Amino acid sequence: MTILYFVRHGKTDHSGKRITGTIPGVGLNPEGIRQANRIADYFAAISLTAIYASPLERAMETAGAAGKARAMSIQPVNFLKEINFGAYQGKGEDLAQDPLWNKFLTNPATVCFPGGESVIEAQSRIVMGLNELSRNHTKQEEILCVAHCEILRLAIASALMIPLDEYMRVTLDTGSISKLDWTVDKQKVYFLNHVP
């Protein structure tokens, strides 16, 4: 099995306040930069074969800290992008009374965001991407994947066979690390949400 480390990017000024989704131009704030540096320190003693990241700035910056410390290039891949929340991207406090948003929080399997993608499509995208990644790497290679909260939660839910409507039971803090074995046929979770 290929060993995958999932890292949720460091904190931004939008974290916990607004739905960023696939909006470009959102970088790490000072705390996010500190988190990225702690992540780089964590991986200093791990023999990484490759570093993949969502092409969105906050993920590339987080991955970049680890890459710089290891003199490794970052490979941006679209399957690690956050869910495309479509018309909901950029919204914040105004979501509290929104029926579709509340449906997403309680029954996400049935939700498709206008102008974006469905939760089912997003999970399929990440699982297919990780399956392909595991086929391209040999057994026991250690790979770093830097991405976003929802898309990584969906991957972990698939690995643990958690029903899609229950995937939000998985908690991933900004700057957190999770470790899995991944093949097309079988996944194994070692740990979740470790914050160095």
Range of 77's domain?
Answer: 2-194
Amino acid 94: pLDDT: 86
Give the mean pLDDT per block of 10 residues along the chain (196 residues).
94 93 95 98 94 98 94 96 96 90 95 96 98 90 97 98 96 97 94 96
Beta bridge partners of 8: 147
* CATH number of domain containing 101: 3.40.50.1240
Number of domains in the chain: 1
Residue from 122, 120, 7, 129 nearest 79 by CA: 129
* The token pair that represents 132 in the structure block: 């392909």
Return the pLDDT at 89.
94
Strands, E assignment, 61-141? 74-76
**pLDDT tens by residue, 137-151:** 987 899 999 999 999
pTM of the model: 0.95
